[in-house]
């Protein structure tokens, strides 16, 4: 075991050109490791707080120099001398220094960068792959990639109300073959959009952003692309929908404003819209179907015992207490896991364990402003999660995470187990 002797931080850029933080942790045995953290675009109100400089003369106020200084001047002296393997202690010390409920004093982005770099350094010091260090000998399951293929909502300028449409290769025999199917369907989609005279421009998260307005248009295009690539919808490939309903909710009027659909819907009407629309497609999961504080709407949707998973993102925000509430209320049967929503690795792992012990599916997920860091790929294997989101196969900061999972599958060899159809609700 080696103790922490150095902590360096720097301001770097995420994939959108927005500042974020990279941290390098050095240990007494000569090992060092870097970690960088992503930034979100559509940020839920229950997420931990980022630290931003708010200096409008630099990066429009989004610089992170204050966070960098806090890491080197406040955090570093307090964690120097702690063994890197003592992740829980490192994270507790940082949370104690911040001493706010949502990490608003130092910033979750600063704390998380140190937390992840510490774990990477410890794994490297112990000469273990990160997924093995985090998950132990039982970390051998490869998740089903839930890859974005059409984007809408707040991520792009088209008229699609919902944020993301994805494909999940549940019927393939391995992760590598699953990603091959996703790539082939993505190329088929590009050709289809081109022949229809629609834009093949790529959105921030690596999905296509054609000028369409109705959810059924997106779903029909995906069904066409799946078939064109030689796969069978509902057998080889399923579809995921991220509604990001909080983004279209009007709190004053208590309605969901679906401009692309030309409709203002009550909660009940939106539920009926989902039932009418989604029953015609092979759906594996629907994420954030209602706004992030309407627990009753989520409960009523779950009571319908639908054939697909209902995933919570904004409503849970990788927060164990909120996940426990969701389990008690039976408000969802899955939760996304985004480390920067909570701010430390220890709390992230607690969120995963809380979900899984309560019968929820954990879905390790990316953010809009990603970096080249592949930590979440190892985290997905370490926690034996069923689905994994890193965006589409069109931007390096997305593809690098899928490539990391292929390498992990190779390292595991015959011990590798692809989740496949066990990710379906009918097999859960």
Question: Of 205, 247, 261, 409, which one is the catalytic site residue?
Answer: 205
C-beta atoms surrounding 268 within 10 Å = 10
**Which member of 85, 120, 124, 338 is catalytic?**
338
Cα–Cα distance measured from residue 413 to residue 348, given in angstroms and rounded to the nearest whole number: 28
Concatenated DSSP letters for 70-135? Answer: HIIIIIHHHHTTSBTT-HHHHHHHHHHHH-STT-TTT-HHHHHHHHHHHHHHHHHHTT--HHHHHH
d(CA 417, CA 387): 13
Is 101 designated active site? Answer: no
Residue from 4, 13, 1, 7 nearest 372 by CA: 13
Number of H helices, E strands in the chain: 14, 17
Alpha-carbon distance of 204 to 367, in angstroms, equals 10
| 3-state class (DSSP) for residue 142 | strand
22 included as an active-site residue: no
Among 172, 170, 166, which Cα is nearest to 146's? 166
Determine the Cα–Cα distance for residues 318 and 347; give it in Å rounded to an integer: 8
Separation CA 214–CA 61 (nearest Å): 36
Beta bridge partners of 148: 166
CB 46 within 8 A of CB 314: yes
Alpha-carbon distance 214 to 164, whole Å? 12
> What are the residue numbers of the active site?
205, 338
């Amino acid at each position: 075991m080696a103790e922490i002797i150095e902590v360096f931080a720097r301001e770097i850029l995420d994939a959108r050109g927005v500042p974020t933080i990279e941290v390098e942790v050095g240990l007494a045995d000569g090992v060092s490791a870097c970690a960088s953290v992503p930034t979100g675009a559509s940020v839920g109100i229950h997420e931990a707080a980022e630290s931003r400089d708010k200096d409008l003369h630099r990066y429009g106020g989004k610089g992170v120099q204050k966070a960098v200084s806090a890491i080197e001047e406040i955090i570093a002296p307090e964690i120097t001398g702690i063994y890197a393997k003592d992740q829980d202690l490192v994270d507790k010390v940082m949370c104690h220094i911040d001493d706010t409920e949502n990490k608003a004093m130092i910033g979750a982005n600063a704390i998380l960068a140190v937390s992840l770099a510490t774990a990477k350094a410890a794994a490297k010091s112990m000469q273990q792959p990160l997924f093995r260090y985090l998950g132990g000998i039982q970390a051998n399951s490869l998740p089903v990639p839930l890859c974005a293929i059409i984007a809408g909502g707040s991520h792009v300028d088209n008229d699609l109300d919902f944020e993301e449409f994805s494909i999940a290769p549940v019927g393939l025999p391995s992760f590598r073959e699953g990603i091959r199917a996703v790539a082939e369907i993505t190329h088929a989609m590009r050709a289809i959009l081109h022949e229809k005279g629609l834009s093949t421009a790529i959105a921030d998260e690596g999905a296509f952003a054609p000028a369409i307005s109705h959810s059924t248009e997106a779903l029909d295009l995906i069904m066409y692309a799946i078939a064109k690539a030689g796969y069978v919808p509902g057998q080889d490939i399923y579809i995921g929908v991220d509604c990001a309903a909080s983004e279209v909710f009007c709190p004053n009027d208590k309605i969901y404003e679906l401009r692309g659909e030309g409709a203002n819907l009550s909660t009940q009407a939106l539920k009926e819209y989902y039932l009418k629309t989604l029953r015609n497609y092979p759906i594996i999961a629907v994420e954030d179907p209602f706004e992030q504080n309407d627990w009753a709407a989520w409960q009523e949707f779950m009571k319908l015992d639908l054939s697909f998973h209902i995933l919570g993102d904004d409503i849970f925000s990788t927060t164990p207490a909120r996940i426990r509430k969701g389990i008690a209320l039976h408000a969802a049967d899955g939760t996304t896991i985004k480390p920067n929503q909570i701010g430390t690795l220890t709390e992230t792992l607690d969120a995963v364990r809380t979900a899984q012990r309560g019968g929820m599916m954990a879905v390790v997920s990316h953010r809009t402003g990603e970096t080249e860091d592949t930590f979440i790929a190892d985290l997905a294997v370490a926690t034996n999660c069923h689905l994994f989101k890193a965006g589409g196969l069109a931007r390096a900061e997305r593809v690098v995470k899928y490539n990391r999972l292929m390498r992990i599958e190779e390292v595991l060899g015959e011990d590798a187990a692809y989740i496949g159809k066990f990710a379906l609700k009918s097999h859960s």
